[in-house]
Structure 1
């Protein structure tokens, strides 16, 4: 994990980087949380424009340090409290106060949910790409029509250019951008996958790269698991949909990919159906936004 974190250097040339460094060190649990007076001072610095002119690559270095820390939520909370989050990551800051449906009795606030997900990623020592995906994959939900809340129709269309914009602004590694876009499109579909229909499961596995890009598939499962555990009462729990998809993927190990993609997918669906002890499978896809 240390290779994902820039070396410690307190000789920042831009005054705003000192503020960001303080927040990122909080995520590494190297300093105590700022008291009220410190937050007031930080807020005044932000209001005075201390972050203006900070080079995006240097801002990203501090954000990366923080999200790779042991408690990323501490950085996010501090940056939000002093107003810096709205400057450096306005797309993420806009998620606070936005409700989303939950399987529990009440909706969840996407801001705290995001912070919980990052802390869950830290708990399993997830790589940078997983943490970046958890940070940005919901940015298309910040301005969902109020009359539809807590549902977020068409958030993928809104989120795609925003994630691409964040990735370009900070020049994040390509694998971070790719996984974030994949999580945007697929995480909620993974949450809804069912063993009752093996055909859609086979199609999903192929779409997610389970057969030809297993490392990326594994990272996506980690994103989905951390998002699942971010809900109240689920911290550290086993993510059942990851186990379901791994069972399905393993069932396809004996199926050789042939020249006919349709025949290959059919063979995989039949193998998955047998593994699920079900004969109900179809060519429909697992869908949803």
Structure 2
């Protein structure tokens, strides 16, 4: 069990640095590693450091390791919540801070708050011991929804177009690894499509598998399935459920394993679609794929 950080009026003496801006981030990361949460005195102290402008001049390259530490903790939501409550989140990740209070449609619920939902997805990733690219994708994949036209809410039209440059800017700002950037952009474009995969026919499923890298980038494909599963399970009542769309795509992917990797791309695509259609029928998925 992680040791409990010292929530005294003074910042812990073992931070290894004296920059008060970094101390705010380190404290938030330590809180995410602990069973405890910050008390009011600690939050007040963190707020004072932010209000004094200590985060303004901290290089993003120095912020990134602290963000990674918090994201990879057992409870990443506690880091995000602490940063939000002391005002630091708006300073370092305004794109994420802007999601708080933004509504989105949820199956079985009237709507969810995207800020709260984000924190639940991060904790779901932690329970799965997910790698950093998965957690970073969950942190950033909805940033295009913060300024959706109010008259359309809780629907978010064209959020992918708004989100792509924001994710790219976040990655450039912090020097995030390419694996983080690639998965976040893939999740932005494909997560909602994966959630709707049961409405597709075998041909579009075969094309989706290729587009998602299931054949030539299997690790990234598995990470995307984890992102989608965490997004799904973060909704109320789904915490213990198995993500059904990943199961559907796994059936399709196994069916494609029997298809020879020879001939033209069109021939392989057609053969994969035929194999998927047969697998769906044998697994009683025919009603889902029409």
Q: Are positions 1:227 and 2:256 aligned together?
A: no
Q: Are positions 1:120 and 2:124 aligned together?
A: yes
Between stretches 250-259 and 152-161, larger displacement belongs to 250-259
For the Cα contact (< 8 Å) 2:198–2:289, is it kept in 1? no
Aligned to 2:33: 28
For the Cα contact (< 8 Å) 1:195–1:201, is it kept in 2? no
Q: Are positions 1:218 and 2:222 aligned together?
A: yes
1:116 Cα deviation from its structure 2 partner: 0.3
Aligned to 1:259: 263
Q: What is the TM-score of this pair, normalised by structure 1?
A: 0.91
Aligned to 2:75: 71
Q: Identify unmatched segments of 5+ residues in structure 2.
A: 1-13
Aligned to 1:286: none
| Structure 1 runs of 4+ with >2 Å offset | 278-282
Aligned to 2:24: 19
CA deviation string 1:219-258 (max 9, x = no partner): 0000000010111121132100000000000001110123
Q: What count of residue pairs does the alignment treat as equivalent? A: 273
Q: Are positions 1:59 and 2:54 aligned together?
A: no
For the Cα contact (< 8 Å) 2:104–2:154, is it kept in 1? yes
For the Cα contact (< 8 Å) 2:205–2:273, is it kept in 1? yes
CA deviation string 1:7-63 (max 9, x = no partner): xx6112421111111100111116x31212221222122111011211211111111
Q: Identify unmatched segments of 5+ residues in structure 1.
A: 1-8, 283-289
State the distance in 2 between where 1:74 and 1:280 align. 39
State the distance in 1 between where 2:231 and 2:289 align. 28
Aligned to 2:135: 131
1:195 Cα deviation from its structure 2 partner: 6.2
**1:107 aligned counterpart, secondary structure:** strand
State the distance in 1 between where 2:39 and 2:61 align. 29
From 251, 275, 279, the equivalent of 2:279 is 275
State the distance in 1 between where 2:211 and 2:118 align. 25
**2:109 aligned counterpart, secondary structure:** coil
**2:106 aligned counterpart, secondary structure:** coil
CA deviation string 1:152-196 (max 9, x = no partner): 110001000000000010001110000000000000000000166
**1:167 aligned counterpart, secondary structure:** helix
Q: Are positions 1:150 and 2:154 aligned together?
A: yes
Instruction: Give the direction of change, closer, same or farther, for the CA distance of 1:82–1:276 in structure 2 (3 Å limit).
Output: same
Aligned to 1:285: none
**2:110 aligned counterpart, secondary structure:** coil
